[in-house]
Structure formats: structure tokens, C-alpha cells
Structure 1
């Protein structure tokens, strides 16, 4: 029978830590040399890509997917419950909308959802009612939702997904963000890389005109000339990089961004050209319809991006902070996103 002392056992275990540490260091080196390379998942994945639709301003849960019959019964009754505001009278206010069951899985929706309530769509939905906020202020709440920190500055959810899994297409950004003309409250902090390397920052596509500036090579410059210019610029940057700390990855990210921008010039024009879709598909997303065209095009583009290997796409839809005009505001906003969501 084999026996050993506790001291020898600890010594043996300690000796085995060297190869483990070396393996981790080598993996970290590989990560730095190709930060967006496809990464093996820690667990068997059920999903490969994410499209996240974020309704900025906060659709009322009791006005969309979470009916409160007791609240309706006590409508306009004065409330003695503690609230977020110290002064003034407080009243219970029921939802102005009715509710109905949609599909066969028990989910309930307000009566303003037309396309999303179709059983073919509703049966694929999962309604989670356990989400809570820790702040009444919009920027802090957005930071909390997108980065996990109310103060902002931490990596966004898309940055974490990209960091963990890499990208499936090195010619396109791994993490893409689409907004309306006005940025969401808190701005680009909502898709920041935080303390992760700069490679994992979200890339915003503009809502009007060309989604990306300078997408086309100037007419007087041939692609081969553009390629040589990038190569020479990379050499200069690499020379400067040798004078910097190995921990400073900002210039490395800048070099990688120039390379990505050059590759995108050849691939992304076809990806963002939604007009190549069939008339039936455009209609399904509400494209060219006054109320749904803008959000419909974004949803359709999101689908095309993930089909071409983009890992994480986030779309912000604003205007949901309805306050005193809740019925009019929510009715209008639901109409603008209902059909595109169902199409997606």
C-alpha cells in the first residue's frame, strides 16, 4: 500500500503547479496575439450569437407583459405604501391597456401587441419577471443593465461575450451597436470595453446615411494602394509599439482597427445592403412602412450581421419614458417595434 506524508503530498502538488501556470501563461499569450480569434466555450453552448433589443426609457412591465389585476381594481386609490418620492400624494394607477393570453405557453401581453401575440411567435417567447433595478435615474439604470455596474466603466455585456467566444468573421466587428439619432442616456459607456482590452469595444452603426463613415475607398486610390498604405502605417505603429509597455494595448488595438477597417471595405457593403432581400422579407420586418421602417431595417440588418458571423448585436429603441402620456406614448412605441420584433 502506497503511503506518503502530508509534507511530501504538498510538495508533489506544488511541483505540478508549474506546468499548469505555464499552460495558462501560454494561453494568455495566444489571447493577446489574436484577441478576437474564435475561442472554445467553457460549456457546450446552446446559442452562438446574440441580438439584444433594448427599449430605452423603460416600458412599464405592468403595461406590456406583466398584468396586475389588483392594481387595476385599486385604480386611483390613495396609496400609503413607501415610495421613491418623499413628498406629495401617491395613488395606485392601473394600466390603460387590457391583457390577453398569447400562444400556448401561458404568456400574457397587453392588447397593443398584434404581431408579437401571434401564436407562431408567442410560443417561442420566454417571459422573465424577476428583473429589478437599483436606481431611479436613467443613466445609472442603463449602466447597471448593460455593464452590471451603476457607475459605468465596466465592460458591456457584448464585450464580455466577445471576450469569451471571439468572432466567427474577422472581416466584421464582433460587437455591433445600433441606436437612434440620439444616443441612449450615458452614451457610448453602454457599449464600452471597460477594463478589457480595446478590441472588445462595441462598434456603432449610424442610423442614417452610410452606417460607417469612409466605408468606400476614394475613387483616385486603387485597392492595392490602400493595402500598401495600411502596411506602411502598420510598420510605423509597430516601431512605436516597441517603445511602449507590453501592458499598454491601446496602440495594438489601433493597429488591429486599421486592419479591420480595410477588410470591412470589401465585405460589409454587401452585408448592410438590406434592399437585396425579397419583397416578402422586407414586408415581414415592416420596411418602407412609416411607423416601422427605421426599427425594421435595424432588426433586418441585425439578422444579416449575425448570419455573417457577428457575435453580438445590440439595438437601442428610445422614447419609452412615457410618464403622463403613457397610453399615447406606449401605443406609438409598441406600434413601431411590434412587427419588426415578430419578423426577427
Structure 2
């Protein structure tokens, strides 16, 4: 991926692949490159005034409005907040250049891809002293060894959630989801790496399989699951579980926890084939017009009390070791959010797959059609 010819080939594919996404919705409106304004409080450790606005691009249901309001009130910065539903959608919008976004969030494999594509830039840690609050367990990982381009935000898993009022059979893993008796009863993540990944796990392979023949077999196997899927939803799959539209879900662990809070009949299944694990990270696009303000925002979010408040509203697992001290034990002891050690050891993170990513894209497109 680092060779010039290979990179040009990859970029050519990427530009072509993002066209459909961009056609579906316009880029962030009003992302102007405003000049620094008088009267704004200084950013942490930088002794300079912040910009008048900040353009943030994040997953849906991942940052409370109350936190944005606090930052705006404290720093006098207007936050323009937009959301996406998948890593691939986010990459498509940031890859065309001059997107106007100052800050985004990317999963581990996507950070590595964006580094290789030159889509993100290095972070100035002089402006983020609260980085010290992040546990060493989540720093210097293989996708960004020195954390030059990314800072951990949240981590977690995706699990199976079952409404036991409707499903009386014992479900133990991904293989059970293919049972024809569950026709039109499931809500699953609208995420190609996750769904192709659990198909591979059901077949006994890795989430990061590269063999083309095996991937073609996975496509055929995934098509057999389609009759059971009522909806693809990465934004708020808990809704269908709570209201009874779906009796089984393959959803984010935090979504399962929120659904169970509303409906105690919903039970967790940590798949015996192994968990799909993930870590999301702050990244700064290469053309960010307000980089220092983005770094000030990250520093603000890494304050223990602010980070803990985020986890209160959206209970994803938190890598902020100081924030963990402030989070209720009912959350930190919830196995859907913080899986037990043995489940973590049996879990797997997604990796950047280089040109094989095109095969996953093609399979997903053919299956969804």
C-alpha cells in the first residue's frame, strides 16, 4: 500500500466507490474556514484563541448534545455536528478533499486505512494534556503504534440480543441465526465488515479472512441469512428490540444494554464463535480548517467527568481510566458493555485488509442488492 503505483490504484478505486454515497447527501453545509475571533477562551496549553466554529463528524448516538452545549458555552465555539452510520460512509466523505470537517471518529482498521491514504494528519499532543487519562491498554496499538494519528474514544463489542418472551430456543452463537424458523425476525448492524465477519466466524474463519475463495463461500452463506433479516440498522437497532419489531438482534453491546433496560426480557448472548471487538478513535482530517480547535475539543472530551457523562448517556466501554472511577458499577459490570476476560480473549478486532477490501465491498453490494 505504500508504493506509489499501488497507492494511485487504490485512490482511483476509492474515488469511484464513494460516488454513490456522496450522491445520496450533500457535504456538510456551512463549514467555512473562519478566522480566530476575539474573546474565545484559550485552548489547553496552546495560549491561543480558538476558532469561532468546529465541524465534527461522528457516529450516530455517540455524543450527547449536553456535552456539545457545555463546550460551546465554555469556549464560545459553535459546533456543527454531523453523523454517519458506517466507517465506509465516513471515509467516502473525507476522502474527496476539502470536506470541511475538523474532527471525526474511526474504528481501528479504518485508522490504518486512512493513514495509508493520507486522509488524516498527525495530532499535536501539546494541545491535549488529558491524553494522560487514557489507559495504556488502549495506546500504541498496531493500527497506530505511536498514536500519531489517533486518540482512543470508546471501545466495545457487538453481541446477540434475544427477546426471551418471543424466542424460547437457546441461542449460543452466530450459527443459530441462520435457522429458518427466525425468518423476518432479526435486526442486524448495517456494517459490511461486521456482517461478513460473523458469517466467516460461523464458518470457522477469521473476521479478517483474505482468501478469495473463502470470501466467495461467505457471500453464498450470507445470502442464506437474508430471509431472517428484517432490517439492517447501525444507528439505533435497540428500537426494534424494545418495541418488539425484532425478536433477535446482532447489535452493539451498548445498544443491547439500553434495550434490556427498557425490556428486561431481552437477554445477552456472547457468541461462542468469538466476539467482534472494536475500538473507536478521534482522527483529524488532513484538510481540517480548525485543527487546534479540534484538539481543544478532544482535550475537553477527555476530562474524566465529561467522558463519564458521555458513557452515562451512551454506555459504550470507556478507555479513560479516570472516567471509569466515576461510572456507575451497573454499567461497568454489564457484560454486554464490558465483556468478561475469557470473552475478550476469544474475541477479534478488525484489521486493514488492503486491496482485499474491494472484495468485501463487492460482496456487500451484491448481498444488499
TM-score by length of 1: 0.24
Tell me which structure has the larger Cα radius of gyration.
1
TM-score by length of 2: 0.23
The structure with more strand, counted as a fraction of residues:
2
